[in-house]
Amino acid sequence: MKESNYKEIVAEILINIGSVKFSFDNPFILTSGQKSPVYVDCRKIISFINERNKILDYAIEYLDEKKIAFDLIAGGETAGIPYAAFLSERFQKKMIYVRKKPKGFGKDQQIEGNYEKGQKVILIEDLATDGSSKVIFIEAIRRLGLKVSDIFVIFYYDIFDINKTSLMNLDVNIHSLCTWKNIINVVSQKKLFSEKDIDNLKIFLNDPEGWRQKNE
């Protein structure tokens, strides 16, 4: 499994099915509140069976090769839940899911499913920008006496300084199948946009804060 190959195959899949959207004149606002000329919506993958299965194959191969051990697969509300379910079935491992906050009635639970204290969890999400949105899930999992040190996503922006986010204090690793750099490579190779727009994307990739200051 050559890293450069599968990463760019996944990047091309995301572009082809419309999971990656570009907007150069009117930037998107990400979950983190920051501007971006691209928006990635990995939730669309669930509707494309062949592409979904290929991505799941790569996910399983990646996790096996990295020897990432876990007892439970946790899906983050809401986009991470279907991917956690797919992987739970493939690995034949138990699954739980984590809400962004307790549901507010009944048992007021934030985590659903069966688990035992001390079990190791891998958190599954569709994507991560700077990783800060995962803090709520990690803290909720650990409050129940479960262990979590790995987050797996299909797409990771990987352009923000993680040392400046709240995730850095939680001692977790982010694993992904595809990053912003792979999207740029495919867009450049396929010449999907003008050189000016591709250069604009490269500027954002190399210096997102500088790009934002120029695009206020």
Q: What is the CATH number of the domain that holds 127?
A: 3.40.50.2020
Q: Could you tell me the residue range of the domain that residue 11 belongs to?
A: 3-214
The kind and range of the H/E element at 128 are: strand 120-128
pLDDT at 158 over 60: yes
Number of domains in the chain: 1
Burial letters 1-40, b for 16+ CB under 10 A, else e = eeeeebbbbbbbbbbebebbebeeeebeebebebbbbbeb
pLDDT of residue 92: 97
pLDDT of residue 205: 82
Sign of CA dihedral 123, 124, 127, 133: negative
**Distance from C-alpha of 124 to C-alpha of 20, rounded to nearest angstrom:** 20
pLDDT of residue 146: 98
pLDDT, mean of residues 145-150 = 97
**Distance from C-alpha of 202 to C-alpha of 185, rounded to nearest angstrom:** 10
pLDDT of residue 36: 83
Task: Provide the percentage of residues in the chain whose pLDDT is more than 90.
Answer: 60
Task: Provide the percentage of residues in the chain whose pLDDT is more than 70.
Answer: 94
pLDDT of residue 154: 97
Contact indicator for 21, 28 with CB cutoff of 8 Å? yes
Q: How confident is the model at residue 17 (pLDDT cuts 50, 70, 90)?
A: very high
The residue type of 26 is N
pLDDT of residue 107: 67
Which residue shows structure tokens 């200051």? 213
Q: How confident is the model at residue 144 (pLDDT cuts 50, 70, 90)?
A: very high
71 exposure class (CB count in 10 Å sphere: 0-12, 13-18, 19+): middle
Q: How confident is the model at residue 4 (pLDDT cuts 50, 70, 90)?
A: low
